[in-house]
Amino acid sequence: MDRLPAGAVGRSQVRQTPRIGVTLDYFPEGYGGFSPVAWQALRVNYFTALYTVGLLPVAIPLLPQQAVGAMIDELDALVISGGDFDIPPRYYGKEEEPGLGRVAEPRTVWEWGLLHEALGRDLPILGICGGMQLLNVACGGTLIQDLPTVGNMGHQQQNPRCEPHHAMRWREDSPWSGEVWQVNSTHHQAVDEVGPGLQVWGSAEDGIVEAIAALDGDLLGVQWHPEYLFEAGIEGGVLAFWADRVRKSLG
């Protein structure tokens, strides 16, 4: 049987529910936890939240780079998840600075390929926490490598992640024009220079970028973890908004 053209299934009306690829966190051999060899995992609340807003989330394992195109062929949109890792600074033209955490080179290489393939095909993309940071870098932006090193201690909460930690304000040109939301916060890096083509949609009171977007929200990054707040019933509507953008992208 001949192979279908790229996107022939994924971007058609064949599926009633959009199929959303969700990347997994990566833990190298010797990290511990689930297995002594390299392993991948992601919290259930990512998948439950995306399914509840009308999407069909599927886990994307780390594969060789030559699998990127075939993987994107099967998807209608892409979610780059967060995780316990930092992006190597060379991806945004910087040297390593004090405070840089664990890098996950295999994960970053894989997600970098997925992101650029998805961008090239105009697929909707949602970046969550570290996923927002990678989206910004993929679009030409840079990162603050360690907030505590530059004197900002307010973005790593100790209370449960299903509880808010600080306020953020949506910009007037965002769908939530001027609204103030309470969000959780579990990151030590942040967006510095915003990538060309992206807009800042929201910021914390201390100026840290909390949301970036392009194409009316088809490309969307949030620095907090909406899946935890969704689980607690206080998410606000970001996931439902992006799910609607995905459906509109399919025509």
| pLDDT at position 153 | 59
Rounded to 5 degrees, what are φ and ψ at 202? Answer: -160, 150
19-249 topology per CATH: Rossmann fold (3.40.50)
Q: What is the pLDDT along the chain (251 residues), one digit of tens a residue?
A: 333 344 444 454 457 899 999 999 988 888 888 889 988 999 999 999 999 999 999 999 999 999 999 999 999 999 999 988 899 999 999 998 988 888 989 999 999 999 999 999 999 999 999 999 999 999 999 999 998 887 665 566 566 666 767 899 999 999 999 999 999 888 789 999 999 999 999 999 889 999 999 989 999 999 999 998 888 787 889 999 999 999 999 98
pTM over 0.85: yes
Q: Which residues are catalytic?
A: 129, 225, 227
Instruction: List b or e across 39-50, with b for residues whose CB sees 16 or more CB atoms inside 10 angstroms.
Output: bbebbebbbebb
**Residues belonging to the chain:** 251
| pLDDT at position 29 | 83
First to last CA, the chain: 28
DSSP string, 59-106: EE----GGGHHHHHHT-SEEEE---S-B--GGGGT----TT---B-HH
Q: Which residues, 6+ apart, have CB-to-CB distance to 151 below 8 Å?
A: none
Q: 2: number of CA atoms within 13 Å, CB side?
A: 4
| pLDDT at position 5 | 43
